[in-house]
Amino acid sequence: MCGMEIWINPACSKCRGALTLLDAEGAGYTVRRYLEDVPSQDEIRAVLGRLGLEPWDITRTQEAAAQELGLKDWPREESARDRWIAALAEHPKLIQRPIITADDGSAVVGRTEEAVREALSRSRQ
């Protein structure tokens, strides 16, 4: 079984582009439609660790839910980290996409062809 997983929103052109590239490269991966199969707070923490990012780094702040929550005014510091993670778990549309987890334990936000290729190279080592 392949350890590569991609979190997608099928309506997202960046997600569709990442899937097209993965398929063209013959990559094995699992698709997670994260709006339907919502990641838990622990899963979000794990992906953040793999990405080496903070929750505010993967938050889509222009979404309506972000504006309703007033996220742009939330502190971006360790003491607020759990609050951000809870918001992402409660409102998964706020999670930047696609997120690709590689076989080597790392992850990337695959919004560019270069990022998708990076995940591929990490999975083929």
User: Among all residues, which ones are annotated catalytic?
Assistant: 12
Token pair in block for residue 114: 């270069």
Cβ neighbours of residue 34 closer than 8 Å, sequence gap 6 or more: 7, 8, 9, 92, 95, 97, 99
Q: Where are the beta strands (DSSP E) in the chain?
A: 5-8, 30-33, 99-101, 107-109
